[in-house]
Amino acid sequence: MEMSLCRLSPIRKGRWRYKWRLWRGGAPLPIPNREVKPRRDDDTAGDRGKVVRRPPLREARTAMCGLSCFLVSHIALFPIFAAMKELLIRSVSGLLLAAILLACVLISPWAYAALLLFIVIVGTFEMARLQQMNQPPYLLLGEICSVGVFACSALAALQVIPQRWLVLEILFVMLPFLIALFSKSKDVKHVFAYVYGSLFFLSLPASLMLYFYREDLFVGMAGPGLIVLVFCLLWANDIFAYLTGKLLGKHKLFPRISPGKTIEGSLGGLVFTIIAMAVFAHYAEWLPIADGIGMAAIAVVFGTLGDLSESMLKRQAGVKDSGKLIPGHGGILDRFDSVMFSVPFIFVYLLLL
């Protein structure tokens, strides 16, 4: 035993001697990091005390260091985990929305019209919220105007009613003046902003998309493929603009309205979308390359302007999103703003070819 102890350090020698004397039945020696407490049992009172170990200083430091590293790592990685979760939710909801949209477009014009009607109704409600006109009387009258204009145009586009019946839309266009006339509010500009914003930002563009099924208007191009192409152009612009802005974005495009958009990102979205459209038109027999490039440029430019316009409405209303219907994306206006704003310009461009 003495030979083995001589090879140990003084501290370890003391511990081994303590254990040796304790095993031989001797009195326990007070050493560092140990404490002697008497037993609390009545029949063993006065016996040797029970040894209670306290954690050594080295173990305490190790535990504190591990706890600190754990907290620091989780606090530092929390934004990354949150961003990954948000990206996953946004991707899943975006894929689900795209699947529903493409299914409705490909099934039949009536299925797509039903989806557009849902978009108009929910979008009008979000527009009322942005303009602080979501009280029941104003909300109901605004929905009547939006749905009435969309129904007239959609039925005419699907050739259910003759084109001359489109004059019925004038009645719904004049209805906001009656709403403002009987309104108790002295400031009626919100009434016009809400109703006409819904008409020209939702109802009319949504109904124009149904005309893309008309072969008599768009010879050789009409059909579900044209509608899918419009959405693909706008989605490609969003993706390319986001990636280019993340890599090269330095100069803000419109910092007063949308601080996240950059000039480099917008130009990158425009260039890469035009390149993608040129490649597609090269293999598509029904679309000339020059017409496809012009269509892509119009979709990108006016789609970006539509996104900025909707951001302006949200900033004036003091909200981040127009709604919460689509997880990770916001509301209907947040997802379809660029589509609704660019469709009238694409419609006129293709009609004049």
Specify whether 54 is located in the same domain as 144: no
pLDDT band of residue 25 (cuts 50, 70, 90) is: low
Q: What local confidence, expressed as pLDDT, does residue 190 receive?
A: 77
29 lies in a domain?
A: yes
Domain co-membership, 259 together with 199: no
Q: Give the Cα separation of 228 and 213 in Å (integer).
A: 11
Asked if residue 63 is part of any domain, the answer here is: no
DSSP letters for 246-262: HHH--SEEETTTEEEEE
**pLDDT band at residue 170 under the 50/70/90 scheme:** confident
Range of the domain at 156: 109-213
CA angle, 121 then 171 then 116, to 5°: 25
Place of tokens 């001359």: 164
Asked whether residue 138 falls in the same domain as residue 240, the answer is: no
Considering the domain architecture, whether residues 38 and 137 belong to the same structural domain is answered as no
Give the pLDDT of residue 88. Answer: 79
Same domain for 9 and 121, yes or no, is: no
Q: How far apart (Å, rounded) are the C-alpha atoms in residues 54 and 200? A: 76
The answer to the question of residue 88 being in a domain is no
Res 62: pLDDT: 56
Is residue 101 in a domain? no
Identify whether residues 265 and 326 lie together within a single domain: yes
pLDDT of 51 reads 46
Determine which of 150-154, 257-261, 262-266, 349-353 has the lowest per-residue pLDDT on average: 257-261
Asked whether residue 233 falls in the same domain as residue 150, the answer is: no
Q: Are residues 229 and 339 in the same domain?
A: yes
Domain contains 68 = no
- Does the pLDDT at position 353 exceed 50? yes
**pLDDT exceeds 90 at position 350:** yes
Band (43; pLDDT cuts 50, 70, 90): very low
Within this chain, do residues 227 and 351 fall inside the same structural domain, yes or no? yes
Question: How far apart are the C-alpha atoms of 109 and 106, rounded to whole Å?
Answer: 8
**Predicted confidence band at 44 (pLDDT cuts at 50, 70, 90)?**
very low
- Secondary structure of residue 37 in the 3-state scheme: strand
Say yes or no to pLDDT of 83 above 80.
Answer: no
> What's the pLDDT at 192?
82
pLDDT higher than 70, residue 46:
no
Structural domains counted in the chain: 3
pLDDT tens sequence across 239-286: 899 889 888 888 888 888 888 889 999 999 999 999 999 999 998 888
- Compute CA distances 310 → 137, 180, 278, 323, 328, whole Å: 24, 24, 29, 12, 17
Instruction: Tell me the average pLDDT of the chain.
Output: 80
DSSP state, residue 187: -
- C-alpha 135/C-alpha 24 separation (Å) is 89
Domain boundary (180, 213, 246) is at 213
pTM, entire model:
0.75
Looking at the fold, whether 202 and 226 belong to one and the same domain comes out as no
Tens digit of each residue's pLDDT (9 = 90 or more) over 186-201: 667 778 888 888 999 9
For the cut 50, the answer to whether the pLDDT of residue 5 exceeds it is no
Q: Is residue 75 part of a domain?
A: no
More confident: 96 or 18: 96
* 164 and 290 assigned to the same domain: no
For residue 138, what are the contacts with CB-CB under 8 A and spacing of at least 6?
128, 179, 183, 191, 194
Alpha-helical (H) ranges within the chain are 2-5, 10-24, 57-107, 109-130, 136-157, 169-181, 189-198, 204-210, 224-248, 263-283, 289-317, 332-351
Q: Examine residue 296 and state whether it is found in any structural domain, yes or no.
A: yes
DSSP classification of residue 41: -
Assess contact for 262 and 249: CB atoms under 8 A: yes
Q: Which long-range contacts (CB under 8 A, 24 or more apart) does 218-227 make?
A: 218/350, 218/351, 220/286, 221/286, 221/287, 221/350, 224/105, 224/106, 225/286, 226/350, 227/105, 227/112
Contact yes or no for 111/101 (Cβ under 8 A): no
Which of residues 21 and 45 earns the better pLDDT score? 21
> Per the domain annotation, does 262 fall within a domain?
yes
pLDDT at 225: 92
Which of 144-153, 210-219, 281-290, 316-325 is the least confident region? 316-325
Q: Does 118 share its domain with 238?
A: no
